[in-house]
Each structure stands twice: as C-alpha cells, then as structure tokens.
A and B are shown apart, each in its own frame.
Chain A
C-alpha cells in the first residue's frame, strides 16, 4: 500500500472532534429514556468516533485506542449483557426479559426502567464493536494491503 503523508490539519481536527462525538454518543445512549435515541443510534455514533480516528491516523496508531482483536469479543459481550439481563429476570421468577423482577431494590416500574438502561448499554456496546469490526475486516481484506 502506498504510504500516505500525515496531514497535520486532518489529524488534529479528527483528534479534536472524536472525543466530542463520543460524548454526544454517550448522551444519546443514556438520554434515550427521555429523548429520541438509544442503544443503536448511540452505538453507531460511538463507532463513528473510532472509525474517524482509524481513517485519519491510520491502522497502526489507532490500535492504541481500540485494538482490532477486541472488537469481536466486545460485540459478543454486548449480546451477552442483553441476554444476561433477560436471564437474571428469569432466575428471579419472572418471564424472560421481564425486567420488573430484577432486584434493583426499587418499585417494579423503576426496575423496568433500569433494566431498559442495561439492555441499551448492551446494544450500544455490541453495535459499536461490530461496526468497528466490519470496518477493520473491509480494510484488512483489501488485496494490496
């Protein structure tokens, strides 16, 4: 692959913007109870922050931020968080994914609210990791790499 020169403007701007994208992504995830947003949207934005760094600084530098080998385990962990939340509800006597039975020591309605937050986090982690993973796969699959 042809070695490209580092452009200071591109790298500086992307490094400045990326944390703010992450912050807004976290806002979208955790504010999903009160405004449009949630795990899928926030996870995609989180992935966009990582992919921006990957695009501008190159594969090798961005491995310091988010290793390619973390992506698949993190994606599976996100699905497991979702599944585990449902399973905990099952163990405490409810139906599968019936968050009211999870003992967060609040009223049933508040338990369900916290359960929704748990699975939103799981969805966000999974979506973020899978987006980054697909980007890495596409890049690494190029024949002249």
Chain B
C-alpha cells in the first residue's frame, strides 16, 4: 500500500512540474495575464487597477487600494477567518477554574 502512495505522489509531482514548465515567465510583458486586453478583448483587471487606483481612491499605495477597496469583500472574509480561528481556540483551549479549584472546560 505504501508503494502505491509513493507512486501517486511521484506521478502527481511530475505532473505539477510538467505543468509549471509552460507557465509564463515572471514579468513577461507578452503573457496573456499581463496584456492590456484579455483574450475576450476586454480590459484586464490588473491593467485597470494600475491605471485607476490613484484616481479612484487618492491613495498612493496600489496594494492597499486593491486589498481594501476593489477586493473589500475578500478582506472582510479574511478578517472573519481570523476571528473564527480565535473563537475556535477560545472554545477548544480555554480552561476555567470553578469555585472548588476544579478545572472545567
């Protein structure tokens, strides 16, 4: 059974490495994602952000505008995830002592 596991892992990693070979280079200006227009001849999101971030939100840092303004829902979700993690730790780990000095969960 172990051999099967290893075999699946090797095949999967080989597949991933093979797929990663055909990814565009970093900063490649001619890659589809980095072009002004997408394949459907509409404006790419990234180029919209670069052109309009300062104009839309009067904020120099483009990353902040994307994080908090254009992708506000996403950040709200992230914050909720953090709160949930904290509450789960609260529920699982917190042990209070009652009057008799006994621990209870």
What residues make up the interface of A, taking CB atoms closer than 8 Å to B?
A: 32-36, 38, 40, 71-72, 75-76, 78-79, 82-83, 86, 96-97, 99, 107, 109-110, 112-113, 115-116, 119-120, 122-123, 126-127, 129-130, 133-134, 137-138, 140-141, 145
Chain B residues in 8 Å Cβ range of A83: 76
- Tell whether, in the assembled complex, residue A137 and residue B93 are in contact, meaning their CB atoms are under 8 Å apart: yes
Complex interface bits, B57-75 against A, C-beta within 8 A gives 1, otherwise 0? 1111101110111001101
In the complex with contacts A109-B58, A126-B83, A141-B94, A119-B89 CB distance below 8 A: no
Structural contact, B86 and A130, CB atoms closer than 8 A: yes
A-B contact count (CB 8 A): 100
- Contact: A134 with B89, CB < 8 Å? yes
B87 contacts A by Cβ under 8 Å: yes
Contact A82 B76 (CB under 8 A): yes
Which residues of B are interface residues toward A (Cβ below 8 A)?
55-61, 63-65, 67-69, 72-73, 75-76, 78-80, 82-83, 85-87, 89-90, 92-95
Instruction: For A86, list chain B residues within 8 Å (CB).
Output: 72, 76
Q: Are A116 and B86 in contact (CB under 8 A)?
A: no
Partner of B58 from A97, A113, A130, A141 at Cβ < 8 Å = A113
Residues of B within 8 A of A96 (CB): 73
Contact yes or no, A76 B76, CB < 8 A:
no
Is B59 a contact of A113 with CB atoms below 8 Å?
yes
Known: A76-B83, A126-B82. A109 touches B65 (CB 8 A): no
Q: How far is it, in angstroms, between the C-alpha of A130 and the C-alpha of B85 when the chains are bound?
A: 8
**Given A119-B68, A137-B93, A140-B94, A35 and B61 contact (CB-CB distance below 8 Å):** yes
A97 touches B72 (CB 8 A): yes
* Inter-subunit contact A34/B60 (CB<8 Å): yes
